[in-house]
Amino acid sequence: MPERTAPSFGEMLARLVSRPTILMEVCGTHTVSIFRNGIRSLLPKELTLLSGPGCPVCVTDQSEIDAALSLASLSGVTVTTFGDLLRVPGRDGSLLDARGRGADVRIVTSAFQALETALREPERQVVFLAPGFETTAPSTAAVVLEAAEKKAANFSVLSLHKLVPPVLHVLAADPEPAVDGLLLPGHVSVILGEAPYSFLPERYGIACVIAGFEAEDILFGLTELLRQIHTNRPTVRSLYGKAVRPGGNARARELMERVFLPVDAPWRGLGVIPSSGLTLREEFRPWDAAQRFPLPTIPAQVETECRCGDILTGKLTPPECPLFGNPCTPASPVGPCMVSSEGSCAAHYRYALRGTP
């Protein structure tokens, strides 16, 4: 009698797919792991896996980059931010271009390093550009509180923070593509927990899973999504118990709520999404760069053939953008999806197109 072998993950997934099914991973870290581990090659042909708007650098709007460029052009101002943001294109180039023209633009590894720079150089106005989702917003809130405590009058923050649940509302309500299940962002879920996603299965019938970032974690997450879809019982389930508590991180959320208020915010390629950004509360306005400095109003968007917005919402895959690979590459990016290491275009170029280990 021939020996029976355990089914592969591909076979397990295929058994759960009875119709064409669309899943989307929201987190940029998931996107990179999926490409790096060749997970798409294991999927049955009836299953489509798309990348969503989970790359904070990618969704930073052109108008926000233009505001940062305006700050960098001011005499006596030092602009600090994380490395990936330097190469994101605005109307008149990038922050890296501005630094090449003599602007004082510096890379920091944390918001606290930016505050340290301000305390060390009191003769300069130091602005921290603060991108990111709920994952990084608590640290920005903490540094604003410390700046207020130390009366650091030469330090301010330009909040570019975005909130994940509002953009998921937009994705869920959009009939194109009709997403059946979402692999939810693990790092954001550490802060939020499970409850903020409950509207997805309850209102839209979308299956939801929070998973870790190793290949096995992702495959188990995809299997659970397909199980929910197959049984027509969508819910929010966490498979990332070692990091995600059901109620999330209450202390981190308290910090955010102490310092920030939700506001309408622009997302690159998606437009303005209600209550999807964060601005400093009135009592912290002295440390709000948008209040301290004259910033430009939102200009007309530069028209290019870059389709980053469609890629962020799953309407297109990276190779379907007319600029992908020529001229847009990680070495000379035209759009932010090719800039960030977590961008789906950069991940596709590096792992799927180029096959770089």
- Convert the pLDDT of each residue in 75-123 to its tens digit: 999 999 999 899 998 888 899 999 999 999 999 999 999 999 999 999 9
The residue assigned the tokens 């009698």 is 1
* Distance, CA of 228 to CA of 209 (rounded, Å): 10
Residue 168 located in a structural domain: no
- Name 198's Cβ contacts closer than 8 Å, sequence gap at least 6: 236
Distances (CA, A) of 48 to 45, 93, 288: 7, 35, 43
Is the full-model pTM beyond 0.75?
A: yes
Residue 194 located in a structural domain: no
Residue 37 located in a structural domain: no
Whole-number pLDDT of residue 334:
87
- Under the banding of pLDDT at 50, 70 and 90, the label for residue 18 is confident
**Ramachandran assignment for 271, one of left (phi > 0), alpha (psi -120 to 50 degrees), beta (any other):** left
Q: 213-245 in b/e burial notation, b at 16+ Cβ within 10 A? A: bebebbbbbbbbbbbbbeeeebbbbbbbeeebe
Q: Which two tokens mark 22?
A: 């669309």
Determine the average pLDDT of the residues in 330-354. Answer: 87
Whole-number pLDDT of residue 354:
55
* Distance, CA of 158 to CA of 266 (rounded, Å): 14
- Determine the structural domain holding residue 112 and report its residue range: 57-163+248-292
- Convert the pLDDT of each residue in 154-179 to its tens digit: 999 999 999 999 999 999 999 888 99
More confident residue, 286 or 268: 286
Residue 178 located in a structural domain: no
Axis-axis angle for helices 9-16, 215-231 (nearest 10): 20
- Name 347's Cβ contacts closer than 8 Å, sequence gap at least 6: 31, 32, 34, 35, 36, 51, 341
Residue 263 located in a structural domain: yes
Residue 34 located in a structural domain: no
Q: How many domains does the chain have?
A: 1
Q: Which two tokens mark 152?
A: 């650091």
Most confident of 16-25, 189-198, 238-247: 189-198
Residue 256 located in a structural domain: yes
Helix ranges (H only) for the chain are 9-16, 28-36, 56-59, 62-72, 95-100, 111-120, 137-149, 164-173, 186-192, 199-204, 215-231, 250-259, 289-292, 308-312, 336-339, 344-347
Contact by Cβ (8 Å): 290, 127: no
Determine the average pLDDT of the residues in 318-324. Answer: 94
Q: 307: part of which helix (H) or strand (E)?
A: none
More confident residue, 141 or 18: 141
CATH number where 256 lies: 3.40.50.11740
Q: Per mean pLDDT, which range of 8-22, 93-107, 225-239, 306-320 is the poorest?
A: 8-22
Query: What 8-state DSSP symbol labels residue 354?
Result: S
- Convert the pLDDT of each residue in 129-144 to its tens digit: 999 999 999 999 999 9
- Whether the pLDDT of residue 73 is over 80: the answer is yes
The residue assigned the tokens 């089914």 is 7
Residue 79 located in a structural domain: yes
- Whether the pLDDT of residue 125 is over 70: the answer is yes
Backbone torsions φ then ψ of 234, nearest 5 degrees: -70, 140
